[in-house]
Amino acid sequence: MSKPEKTLGILGGMGPAATAEFLRILARDVPAENDSEHPKIILLSDPETPDRSDGLMGIGPDPLPVIRKNLFKLIEWGAEVLAVPCNTAHYFIDRFRDEIPVPLIHIVEETVKAAIEISSGNCSWLLATTGTQKSLIYPECASRMNFHFLRPSDEQQEKIQQVIRLVKSGELNTAGENLKNVINELWHERNVSVTMGCTELPLAYAVSGLPADRQVSSLKALSDACIKFLYGK
């Protein structure tokens, strides 16, 4: 196995734990037999990027200028393909995607593809930030692929948002228990797969005790797509 020719640029820090988990999954899954066969990675982790959900809902600063500046900084540093392990950030990235001169592995598009692959029907529950839900970026992408997402109630959505806050504050066990309760409610309504359309949620799911094969992780979907791009498999 030869090492990839392209340098991967990762814009992280949204949030830091999700970025670290993405790097762990990527390092675990690449088809490398030694250090030199791993991809060259340039990481820019900027936890000071304004909150994406708050910006999308108009209750906080617009994160687009910071996200755009950082992506182009990665390109300036030598990145030849980009990945951003934050779903809500892609609502803003899509506003200037055509300006990006290198390939961008789009987490939403890749997660929808992964959801289609594991779902027995043509639908899945979408668990995401309130901002991502409001943006409709997932259902719009899914509709282009003849797929459909079910969405939690407002009360359930607030519980999911709290799970995300708990992961960001390092309270993983509580996050996992709370997520398990919400997902069991959803499965009582419709017993289909759950799509983790927020990169914090796979961390909570991993400690929830729920079946691993019933969820679609946006972190894993992004990692798989990066590996396919870099290694051609």
Residues involved in catalysis: 86, 198
Question: What's the rounded Cα separation, in Å, for the pair 211 and 203?
Answer: 14
Q: Find residue 82's DSSP bridge partners.
A: 9, 104
Nearest by Cα to 96 from 123, 118, 69, 122: 69
According to DSSP, residue 123 is labeled E
The number of CA neighbours under 13 Å toward the Cβ of 132 is 30
Instruction: Tell me the two tokens of residue 138.
Output: 């997932």
Question: What's the rounded Cα separation, in Å, for the pair 20 and 14?
Answer: 10
Instruction: Tell me the two tokens of residue 72.
Output: 């182009």
Element holding 201 (H helix, E strand): helix 201-206
The SS3 assignment for 210 reads coil
Which residues have a Cβ under 8 Å from the Cβ of 18 and sit 6 or more positions away?
A: 12, 85, 86, 167, 199, 200, 203, 219
